[in-house]
Chain A
Amino acid sequence: MAEVLVYVDHVDGAVRKPTLELLTLARRIGEPVAVALGPGAADTAAALAEHGAVKVLTHDAAEYADYLVVPKVDALQAAYEAVSPAAVLVPSSAEGKEIAARLAVRIGSGIITDAVDLEAGDEGPVATQSAFAASFTTKSRISKGTPVITVKPNSAAVEAAPAAGAVEALAVSFSDKATGTKVTGRTPRESTGRPELTEAAIVVSGGRGVNGAENFSIIEALADSLGAAVGASRAAVDAGWYPHTNQVGQTGKSVSPQLYIASGISGAIQHRAGMQTSKTIVAVNKDAEAPIFDLVDYGVVGDLFEVVPQLTEEINTRKG
């Protein structure tokens, strides 16, 4: 069976969920061979094997942390040359997309970014994408070279599928361009203890209607009652009420949870672009004409300062 290269997104050996989803998709088109780079690369093997990786190619070097993107492209290219895969799959993070794109040009292949589904097809893998703020769905494939495809989080279920996961050292020689962009400082993001926005099953978001940084505690309390991640509209982020890392929408994160609860958010097209594919959508807004109500499965026209705390209390009571 043809091998499929899967680029592993991990933090010090802890594999992030989108990579496990990628393994599910990779198994539809071939045998997954994972590529893990940087500190803790070899520690990823157990989780990857459990989800279907037949092989795990690993390599660590200071360059991965000290220089931007290019060392990783060099390594993925080395893996590509060693394996001659039928396809290369990369998680659709900002960095993942850049790595994938540069690899595609180097190996003379087309690229598809931000796929939300992937199937085997007669002429190579067929990728589903969302276009125009998710108002269209397209199906595409790559017509030249080895398909290079980046896939968004939450595009497939994580499935256990134990495989050998044999660890092999990847031989990498860095190109002279690898050290072009120096990383001179790095401040890790502090964990909030809440689920990762793009990976969460439930997202609770607040917008301009929340009316102040201090009021976001109302949104957070609801999120915590549901074990949810917290999101924000750009208006709330621009006002400085919530960090940009939590922004949902075209220029923030795009989320596709089981449940999305929008409070004090009007539902502008750029916001919808990042949440329209959520399975169930709920909104609280005092304006009955707000466009967000066109999307909802359930909407409450009312003041979020009344409705949201009552909802949170009711959830906490029901949970006992």
Chain B
Amino acid sequence: MSLRIVVTVKYVPDATGDRHFADDLTVDRDDVDGLLSELDEYAVEQALQIADEADDAEITVLTVGPEDAKDALRKALSMGADKAIHVEDDDLHGTDIIGTSLVLAKAIEKAGYDLVISGMASTDGTAGVVPALLAERLGVPQVTLLSEVSVEDGVVKGRRDGDTASEQLEASLPAVVSVTDQSGEARYPSFKGIMAAKKKPVQSWDLEDLEIETDEVGLEGSWTKVDSATERPARTAGTIVKDEGEGGKQLAEFLAGQKFI
């Protein structure tokens, strides 16, 4: 039987752009160019490698996001994923992590899955908790933050490099996996891949398709409330000296003045 892999990918504002908040204190996704979160490219890459090793596998990429989020799906398809699902609904604007995990979980269940692969964190929200939430909601093992992953005979194995130890993990499918940026460089889409992606199916689902009530998501349905967002004042310009042979000593003088020595 075919191994059904669902990769969750997020469309995020470019980190090198001028990221900011909109008037309603949600992330402004209109003003700054968006792209497939770089950290989710690692998830797509591992899915492709796992699919290569399996006799028969199918990779579906899934995103919850605005119209433009299709770009993220296209990129993942051009890397080699087979099909895509876009959950899109005006009522999703402003959804928090808890709500996003609900929508993703319902979509994953509807799509059908043996293995979910996520990135380690989104580059805009950076919470890094959606994969754990998906495991909780789907009621399957969580095998997260892996720097190495493999699947064989219905068992997923991986290495998790933690703060105090490096752990070897193992769980039976179905399971939710997340991979870090240490898991291996993501491939670039080939020209052939880009052309092929144009013909791959992208399904659109809305909240009704997922049987989610509008008050469970969106800004109003959110269980957290942002009261204010202020731009950090620019750091006051510091002293910059050119080393003329005494740079190290000058630096020591500065540090002594600040009582670090």
B19 interfacial contact with A, CB 8 Å? yes
How many interface contacts (CB-CB < 8 Å) are there between A and B?
255
CB distance from B115 to the nearest CB of A (A): 14
Q: A98 contacts which chain B residues (CB < 8 A)?
A: 129, 132, 142, 144
Q: A133 contacts which chain B residues (CB < 8 A)?
A: 15
B111 interfacial contact with A, CB 8 Å? no
Interface digits, A279-309 against B, CB 8 Å rule (1 contact, 0 not)? 0111010001000011111111111001111
Interface digits, B227-261 against A, CB 8 Å rule (1 contact, 0 not)? 11111100100111111011111111011101011
Interface digits, A110-126 against B, CB 8 Å rule (1 contact, 0 not)? 11111000000000001
- The reply to whether A143 and B222 contact each other, CB–CB distance below 8 Å, is yes
B161 interfacial contact with A, CB 8 Å? yes
Closest to A134 in B: B232
Number of contact residues on A: which range applies? 35 or more
B128 interfacial contact with A, CB 8 Å? yes
Interface digits, B155-196 against A, CB 8 Å rule (1 contact, 0 not)? 001001111111111111001000011100000000000000
Residues of B within 8 A of A (CB): 15-16, 19-21, 25, 39, 96-98, 101, 120-121, 123-124, 126-129, 132-133, 135-137, 139-145, 147, 157, 160-172, 175, 180-182, 222-232, 235, 238-243, 245-252, 254-256, 258, 260-261
Q: Which one of A25-33, A81-89, A243-251 is at the interface?
A: A243-251
Contact among B126, B129, B142, B232 with A70 in the assembled complex (CB-CB below 8 Å): B142
- The reply to whether A143 and B232 contact each other, CB–CB distance below 8 Å, is no
- The reply to whether A97 and B39 contact each other, CB–CB distance below 8 Å, is no
Interface digits, A193-236 against B, CB 8 Å rule (1 contact, 0 not)? 00000000010000000000000000000000010000000000
Q: Which among A181, A226, A294, A312 has the greatest number of chain B C-beta atoms within 10 A? A: A181
- The reply to whether B240 and A293 contact each other, CB–CB distance below 8 Å, is yes
CB distance from B220 to the nearest CB of A (A): 10
For the complex with contacts A95-B162, A282-B254, 17 further pairs of A-B residues with Cβ separation under 8 Å are A98-B132, A101-B136, A131-B229, A132-B15, A134-B232, A135-B19, A138-B21, A138-B226, A142-B223, A180-B171, A184-B168, A189-B163, A250-B123, A300-B240, A301-B240, A311-B252, A315-B255
A315 to B253, CA, bound (A): 9
- The reply to whether A105 and B165 contact each other, CB–CB distance below 8 Å, is no
A36 to B101, CA, bound (A): 28
CB distance from A1 to the nearest CB of B (A): 25
